[in-house]
Structure 1
Amino acid sequence: MNTNTLHAKPAHHREAGFANSDPAVVIGNFPWYEMVWRSLRGDFKPLAPPQNGYAAFAKEWSTPVDLARIAQRQDAPVVTWLGHVSVLLQVGGLNILMDPTLADFAGPYGRFGAPRMVPAPLRGDMLSPIDVLLISHNHYDHLCDATVAAMVASGQRPRIFVPLDLKAWFVARNIPNVTELDWWDHADVTSDTDGKTLPQPVRIHFTPSQHWSRRTPFDTNASLWGGYMVEHKPGATDAWRFLFPGDTGYSADFRAIRERLGVVDFLALPIGAYLPRDFMKNMHVNPADAVQIMLDLDAKQAMGVHWGTFKLTQESFDHPPRDLAAALQERGLAKDKVWLLRHGETRAIAV
């Protein structure tokens, strides 16, 4: 047997970083002049406000967080949307937080970059004890300096999972308990932050997505990107699976996830930040692509994320719900197949 083959690097590893599953899809190598041109053209902000303005949109799509409710640990799954991609999943006795971005801007130190137009439903120092923190990749609207700093300052000491080569960001800030994962790696969480042993371990899988990474002008695709499957098996029953795909364009990765890891019971489905399509297609799904991802995964239920929070792309804040409704109707699916929660809303997930 060929030893070199046995120890060959995975196909998505490169000498200077990482690549997508489809090697033909290369994202991140944008020339500076294109980015300047697109910025001047208005590609990175909505072309128009929502129908009745941002204040009315924020009022319609916000609700106070039920702090007493999220303070209670849950065995059966409960989900809270904190805006954009920030999701709190409570399951199996664990509080699992994904890509928390609770600052006023999606950018360096939470003070620069894309402005937040719907106020964060809580601050980073108001979170209930977080046992597990999942970071999908290093873009500023997913890894927020200010939010992580507020969590640490408030005494949070979660177990943190990150993609390959992103641990150094946390080490530089003296943040411990960080584990790097490659695509298809998994880890079992057996206790909460208080040291209490869980009745059943909760398994965290790191899954592939089609995207890219960059934190500075000099580190394009130097760290990996992806999503997370949270797998909880209560007692002798079948496993319950939640998938947080992170940022992604449509790809064959999701059929592979279904084939390797099983049916997804609940899916945090990205439905926004998709225009202009010529630039965003490979990195961000639109609602039609999102529905196809849901079908590829055989997902039983989904919730919409990655929309209606930051000024990031050309579509108006109120376009994703309309485009999603049209995509669901076109595929003969019920409108409530994808929940649209308000910022701060908590819902129990039927199992």
Structure 2
Amino acid sequence: MRGVSGLLLATVLLLTACGTTNPHYDPSRPHHRPGGFVNNDSRHIGGKAPWYEALWRRWRGDFTPLSPPAGGYPQFARDWSVPVDHALLREADEQARITWLGHSGLLLQLAGRNILIDPQLSDFAGPFRQLSAPRRVPPPLTPEELPPIDLVLISHNHYDHLDENVITRLLEAGQHPRFLVPLGVKRWFDERGIAGVSEMDWWDSIDDGPLRIHFTPAQHWSKRTLFDANATLWGGFFVESDSGGQAWRFLYTGDTGYSDDFRAIRQRLGPVDLLAVPVGAYRPRDVMAAHHVDPDEAVQILLDVDARQAIGVHWGTFELSQEPFDQPPTDVRAALNQRQLDSQRLWLLRHGETRRLAVPPEKPSGQP
């Protein structure tokens, strides 16, 4: 007990944040507050529980699976992992494809661009190992093995989405990607001398070569230290590729609870060709429901955004919640079946697996 108390005191001293005054505050935007940000449904506020409640919940087991997967974790890792096809990832062709890097990490290769999304390749998610979520499935590759990255999209500042180890090693390997981050997160990069960072508010758009990237709302929260709850924004990314006048649309929701945000995204930006949506870290519901969808809600989001195809993320990698690692696939199948949807409408990839995507090819210049 004394060791834990000392560790907690060290955390307080090491992670003290400078004030939470919001330099981006715009009173015309309902999700802005002078001290940070809120969800569109402002009844759902995360990150405000005192440290001792979070510690008590960890001791109680709220963030640990109630049981191991069938056959144990080593068997689960074998069943749900494949070797990365490094030659395929480095091909310079225009064939669109997506690779699951574990948890919420994705490599989207679209229109000749390599887009890295929320990469987390470390063996724990947190400021230090003792009070962090352990990784149970090895990462499928190292940061040094990634192909040349054009864009890195970071949805929010939680440790399982913003991994300093990955970013540091990516830059040390000689890569110079452009980073797109929510309002307030650029400061984290500035403190580390990292350039090429653009901040985005909800519904902001940025053009990058043949792509247009929108930052979309989600129902979640942010926190990097004991003192900066909701001081920075969170959200998802909507990526549009216009192939010869025919749009192809990808939506990564980021972490989110179920909300009206997704019907608004569909109405404002159009139907989705590929949706990446969380399907894990959803139990116990009294703790998780407001900010983490369960598989049934994930399938409802698929319908809300009129997604032709979906891929499940945020599961089967880190110990974050009570459901066993092999529970999400069962619950996804049940949710699809309950709505009489095809069992392949929502893919669950294996760690390191790549899927080719049916994206219209670019027309040659001048072709009608």
The answer (yes or no) to whether the contact 1:46–1:315 under 8 Å persists in 2 is: yes
Q: 1:213 matched to which residue of 2? A: 222
What is the distance in 1 between the residues matched to 2:128 and 2:353?
26
Which of 40, 65, 87 matches 1:46? 65
Could you give the per-residue CA deviations for residues 52-96 of structure 1, whole angstroms, max 9, x where no partner exists?
100000000000100000011342420000000000000011000
Could you give the per-residue CA deviations for residues 130-160 of structure 1, whole angstroms, max 9, x where no partner exists?
0000000000000011111111111111010
What is the distance in 2 between the residues matched to 1:71 and 1:77?
12
Counterpart code for 1:207: T
RMSD: 1.2
TM-score under structure 2 length normalisation? 0.89
Counterpart code for 1:82: L
Q: 1:115 matched to which residue of 2? A: 134
Distance 1:334 1:311, change over 3 A: same
Which of 315, 319, 322 matches 1:314? 322
Q: 1:72 matched to which residue of 2? A: 91
What is the distance in 1 between the residues matched to 2:131 and 2:154?
20
Q: Does 1:101 align with 2:120?
A: yes
What is the distance in 2 between the residues matched to 1:173 and 1:73?
31
What is the distance in 2 between the residues matched to 1:289 and 1:306?
14
- How big is the shift at 1:341? 0.7
Q: Does 1:326 align with 2:345?
A: no
- How big is the shift at 1:34? 2.2
Counterpart code for 2:178: R
Which of 337, 340, 344 matches 2:345? 337
Gaps of 5+ in 1: 1-6, 191-200
Gaps of 5+ in 2: 1-25, 360-368
Q: 1:197 matched to which residue of 2? A: none
The answer (yes or no) to whether the contact 1:73–1:90 under 8 Å persists in 2 is: no
What is the distance in 1 between the residues matched to 2:70 and 2:96?
35
Q: 1:285 matched to which residue of 2? A: 293
TM-score under structure 1 length normalisation? 0.93
Q: 2:242 matched to which residue of 1? A: 233
Aligned ranges 1:72-151 → 2 under 5 Å: 72-108=91-127, 113-151=132-170
Distance 1:41 1:112, change over 3 A: closer
Counterpart code for 2:239: V
Size of the alignment, in residue pairs? 334
What is the distance in 2 between the residues matched to 1:9 and 1:67?
47
What is the distance in 2 between the residues matched to 1:184 and 1:279?
28
Which of 80, 97, 100 matches 1:61? 80
Q: Which 4+ residue blocks in structure 1 deviate beyond 3 angstroms?
A: 109-112
What is the distance in 2 between the residues matched to 1:13 and 1:83?
32
SS at the partner of 1:37? helix
SS at the partner of 1:108? coil
Q: 1:177 matched to which residue of 2? A: 196
What is the distance in 2 between the residues matched to 1:170 and 1:71?
27
The answer (yes or no) to whether the contact 1:103–1:111 under 8 Å persists in 2 is: no
Deviates more, 1:153-162 or 1:71-80: 71-80
